[in-house]
C-alpha cells in the first residue's frame, strides 16, 4: 500500500535567502496529519542563496543528516568541526546532550540545494559527534547504496537511530526494487528527476509512504535520484 504526497502539498518557508519546503511539520508550518513517520521527523528541501545561511543555533537529542544535491554547504560546530560538503557528500551530526552549529553557502555566486533530515535517536543524551562521507553517483547507480545505519555497515555512517537511509540514481528505463521486512515500513523521497512506481509518476519533492512488509519497484523516467528510509514499523 502506498500513500503519495506530492511536492506541491508540502509546507513552505521563504525569505530573501532561503526557500525551504517541508515534508513534515516544521517551524511555522504545522499539519497534524504530517508530523513525521516512525523515527523520521524532518525532511526540509532547502535552497540557500550565495553567501547566506543559517547562523549559529542549538540542537539536542536529534540525529541530523545533510545531503547536498547542488553547490556547497559550509559547517562549523561547537565540537570544533569545520568542513565544506558538496554534491554526493552526506554529513551526520548526533546532537545528543547539546551542540551548536552554523551552516552557510560559501559561494559568492552559486546557490546551494540540500536536504536537511532529522531522525529521532535510539538513545538520548549521548555525547555529541560528527561524521561525513562521500558517495558517488556511480556507486548509487548500481544498487541501493546504504548511507546511514545504526552500526555503520557497508561503509555507511553509523548513526544513533533505528533508521536505514539508502540512495539510488536511476537512468531512463532503469529499474530498482526493494523488499521491506514485515516489521519495517518505508518512505521514499524523490530528490531529483522522475520515476514510475506502480503506474504513478513521481517527480522531485514527492514523498511516498510504503506499508510494512511491502516489495516495490521503481522505474526511471528520466535520470532520478531517490532516497529510501527503511524504518521501524
Model confidence pLDDT, tens digit, residues 26-48: 999 999 999 999 999 999 999 99
Q: How far is CA 201 from the centre of its chain?
A: 21
Closest CA to 135 of 188, 204, 86, 193: 86
Are 165 and 117 in contact by the 8 Å Cβ rule? The answer is yes
- Is residue 1 scored above 90 in pLDDT? no
Residue 141 is inside which H or E element, if any? helix 137-141
Strands 145-149 and 157-158 come out as parallel
Whats the size of the chain, residue-wise? 233
**pLDDT score, position 28:** 94
**Overall fold of domain 2-232:** Jelly Rolls (2.60.120)
170-185 confidence digits (pLDDT tens)? 999 999 999 999 999 9
Average pLDDT, the chain: 97
End-to-end CA gap in the chain: 14
Whole-model pTM: value is 0.97
pLDDT digits (tens, 9 = 90+) for 136-168: 999 999 999 999 999 999 999 999 999 999 999
- Which triple of cell numbers denotes residue 12? 513552505
Amino acid at each position: 500500500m502506498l500513500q503519495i504526497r506530492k511536492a506541491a502539498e508540502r509546507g513552505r518557508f521563504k525569505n530573501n535567502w532561503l526557500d525551504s519546503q517541508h515534508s513534515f511539520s516544521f517551524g511555522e508550518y504545522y499539519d497534524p496529519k504530517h508530523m513525521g513517520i516512525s523515527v523520521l521527523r524532518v525532511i526540509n528541501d532547502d535552497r540557500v542563496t550565495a553567501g547566506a545561511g543559517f547562523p549559529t543555533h542549538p540542537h539536542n537529542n536529534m540525529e541530523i543528516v545533510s545531503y547536498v544535491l547542488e553547490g556547497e554547504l559550509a559547517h562549523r560546530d561547537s565540537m570544533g568541526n569545520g568542513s565544506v560538503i558538496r554534491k554526493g557528500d552526506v554529513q551526520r551530526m548526533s546532537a545528543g546532550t547539546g551542540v551548536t552549529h552554523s551552516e552557510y553557502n560559501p559561494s559568492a555566486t552559486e546557490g546551494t540545494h540540500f536536504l536537511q533530515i532529522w531522525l529521532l535517536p535510539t538513545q538520548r543524551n549521548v555525547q555529541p559527534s560528527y561524521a561525513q562521507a562521500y558517495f558517488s553517483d556511480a556507486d548509487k547507480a548500481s544498487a541501493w547504496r546504504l548511507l546511514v545505519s545504526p552500526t555503520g555497515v557497508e561503509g555507511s555512517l553509523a548513526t544513533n537511530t533505528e533508521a536505514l537511509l539508502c540512495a539510488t540514481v536511476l537512468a531512463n528505463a532503469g529499474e530498482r526494487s526493494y523488499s521491506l521486512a514485515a516489521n519495517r515500513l518505508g518512505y521514499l523521497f524523490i530528490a531529483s528527476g522522475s520515476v514510475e512506481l506502480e503506474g504513478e509518476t513521481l517527480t522531485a519533492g514527492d514523498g511516498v509512504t510504503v506499508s510494512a512488509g511491502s516489495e516495490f519497484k521503481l522505474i526511471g523516467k528520466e535520470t532520478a535520484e531517490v532516497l529510501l528510509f527503511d524504518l521501524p514499523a
